[in-house]
A = this chain, B = another copy of it.
Amino acid sequence: MLDAIFAPRAVAVIGASPDPARLGHRVLRNIIDHGYAGRILPIHPRATTILGLASYPTVSAAPGPVDLAVVVVPAHAVLDVVDDCGRAGVTGLVVISAGFKEVGGAGRMLEQQLLERVRQYGMRMIGPNCLGIIDTTTRLNASFAALMPAAGEIAFMSQSGALCTAILDWSAERGIGFSRFVSLGNKADIDEVALLRSWGADPTNRVILAYLEGIADGPAFIAAARDVTRHTPVIAIKSGTTAAGTRAISSHTGALAGSERAYEAAFDQSGVLRARSMQELFDVALAFAYQPQIGGDRIAIVTNAGGPGIIATDAIERSGMRLAEFGAATLAQLRAGLPATASCSNPVDVIGDARADRYEVALSAVLADPGVDAALVLFTPQAGSEPERTAEVIARLAADHGKPVLTSYMGGVSIGPALAILNHRRIPNYAFPEQAVAALRAMVHQYIWRTRPAGERISFSVDRERVRAVFARARAAGRVELGEIEARDVLAAYGMALPRSELAQSPGQAAALAEQIGFPVVMKISSPDILHKSDIGGVRLGIADAAAAHDAYEVIDYRARTYSRDASIWGVLVQEQVRRGREVLVGVSRDSQFGPLIGVGLGGIYVEVLQDVAFRLAPLTRQDVREQIRSIRTYPLLRGVRGEPPADLAALEDIVLRVAQLVEEFPEIVEMDINPLMLYPDGEGAMVVDARIILQG
């Protein structure tokens, strides 16, 4: 995939220049200098040779076949160039030229035209407005970067070109290698999704890093990332806050949702690890690039000093992993091989005067223990220490045992050569233990994701026709917010339990309906124009007999007409008064990038004050919903505290899944709240007491 770009048989540099000050010169030189083995064709209107290579006025005039064209001409010339490339059978483009969408106005139109040409010729394109691309496996450096990175296992894509140059500069000093290195530019054609799919299919890329300022197609990103992260870790930095939508938000869920929550849910549900800083991005990347994947969370520590051992232990416990407990054989081996003053339990302290041999005894014993999933080796330079030999020992044992081994050599001037050995032998090293622990934590997170049951999509049998009819009626009446009766209809059509409810249009009818439903009943004004029913006294609870129902109708009707002379009054709803349960909110807010974002939380003050709502993006499996419910902070209240019975979680899962299906099947729903849902003890189900549904305006 994308071979025309990353592994072309021949590359044309359009805008190649004999003038060393021009970008086109620099790009050509990079391709020539770094060992690309295919044919290289400078394209220049007049020159016959550039940098010793035969130059041609156009690609179509150059000897074919040419797979890739790197374009470094002014924006206004790009369309013609693409046409020529099309004629010449070029299928890959890297457009470095700027002056497109990023400058707005005419540039935006030009980019649209460019994309149309690209599609028309069946090409794929990186850019425009980018630094270029580097592939160390084909040794193609089609960029104007000042450096060629070492070959490595890390694939990196960035929406910021400046970050690319900084990272290349930074990694050159540290000897960190890359497999592919791409500046995404404006992402007109190839974006993070295309690269994820392509890179995920090539095991050369042991880990994929992305710096993203936005994701264009949320669902496609999630689908691609889900596939890739099953085998290859993906770590992302997402920066930049999306401007809040201009649509007024009218639901609880809408107010709590927002783009940040959507990105969090997207990364969470697709197994993408989110780095909180650039430092962490590379700390974690190195562990995945250099070491085998982890098989659990039981960590062994080997150290030559107590203090750093404590620091590492604290960090491991804080991050929710476990210190491994050694088996009897391991302990015996440690006791036999280490001095009496050494500490043989975890963390193993080989004591300050340890030479490489003592590290060998300790590390080989703990790595052989089946109760150990990974080892963290700490080293502080002390009198008699052997930093380099110890590094060799660590590298050898790590290779022998096939479990992840990370190190934290703490120091500077006296450990330089040892750090070079560790890096060369692919042992990720960290200046301080906390960074190593953060990397281990990411490995464990990836392990949990990899081994998590996939979950199955559930499709309930529902009455879509009925929903369509409700929406059509509301729209015909020019409304985007459904009335309670309509919302009830929609939820009932999707199989949710609702209290019995009938519309009365006179006091006498109200009394009769109340008799039928059974006392006590609740009565509420029914009007498409009155959304905040309580505010006008339009709700009466605990109506105990027919006479009271008769009176209630009159009072409610009177208030509604007084409140708003123009309101269209449908009547008064007479409703079964539901028994109390645990009040839960289930809501949906549609994110512009990721689609329906579904929130679940305990209702009332838990939502209002604690904002304790867990979000997931549709589509959802039952497994997803289960995790979602368990991630609510007040989840213990659902499980039952103070001797309360547990709530009917299966019923709650069911409702969340039905809501997810509803909003997937009806994209015109932009927001909805079920609030409250009364959730009863296990086995007793749940009932929707009130709901709001808002359609696309």
Contact = CB atoms under 8 A, between A and B. Distances in A.
Contacts of A411: 165-166, 169-170
A74 to B, nearest CB: 16
Contacts of A167: 410
Contact of A413 (B173, B313, B633): B173
A610 interface: yes
A162 B605 contact: no
A352 B131 CA distance: 12
Nearest to A381: B169
A469 interface: no
A305 interface: yes
A311 interface: yes
A26 B147 CA distance: 45
Given A240-B310, A412-B172, A434-B279, A605 B641 contact: yes
A146 interface: yes
A411 B145 CA distance: 13
B608 A158 contact: no
Contact of A146 (B383, B416, B634, B637): B383
A165 B381 contact: yes
Contacts of A610: 610, 633-634
Nearest to A174: B412
Nearest to A276: B434
B147 A434 contact: no
Interface in A213-263: 213, 237, 239-241
A146 to B, nearest CB: 7
Contacts of A636: 609
Given A412-B169, A610-B633, A641-B608, A163 B307 contact: yes
Contacts of A416: 173
Interface string A134-163: 000000000010110000000000111111
A276 B383 CA distance: 29
A255 to B, nearest CB: 14
Contacts of A146: 381, 383, 414
Contact of A609 (B169, B277, B435, B641): B641
Interface string A410-440: 1111111000000000000001111100000
Counting contact residues on chain A (CB < 8 A from B), the size range is 35 or more
A303 B437 CA distance: 32
Contacts of A333: none
Interface in A160-210: 160-163, 165-167, 169-174
Nearest to A434: B277
A589 interface: no
Given A173-B413, A307-B213, A162 B382 contact: yes
A304 interface: yes
A313 B167 CA distance: 19
Nearest to A410: B166
Contact of A277 (B310, B435, B605, B634): B435
A418 to B, nearest CB: 11
Given A160-B306, A608-B642, A239 B278 contact: no
Interface string A337-354: 000000000000000100
Tell me how many chains of this kind the complex includes: 2
A314 interface: yes
Given A239-B310, A239-B314, A307-B162, A431 B642 contact: no
Interface in A271-315: 276-279, 304-308, 310-311, 313-315
Contacts of A308: 160, 162-163, 166
A211 interface: yes
A269 interface: no
Contacts of A505: none
A58 interface: no
Max chain B C-beta neighbours (<10 A), residue from A383, A416, A435: A383
Nearest to A23: B383
Contacts of A410: 163, 166-167, 169-170, 278
A380 interface: yes
A282 to B, nearest CB: 9
A213 B166 CA distance: 38
Contacts of A147: 413
B170 A605 contact: no
Contacts of A317: 241
B170 A412 contact: yes
A571 to B, nearest CB: 29
Given A237-B311, A278-B433, 7 more contacts: A162-B380, A162-B382, A170-B411, A173-B412, A278-B311, A605-B641, A610-B634
Interface of A: 26, 144, 146-147, 158-163, 165-167, 169-174, 211, 213, 237, 239-241, 276-279, 304-308, 310-311, 313-315, 317, 352, 380-383, 410-416, 431-435, 605, 608-610, 633-634, 636-637, 641-642
18 contacts: A161-B307, A162-B305, A162-B382, A163-B380, A166-B381, A169-B410, A169-B415, A170-B431, A174-B412, A240-B314, A241-B317, A277-B315, A278-B432, A278-B433, A279-B435, A605-B637, A608-B641, A610-B634
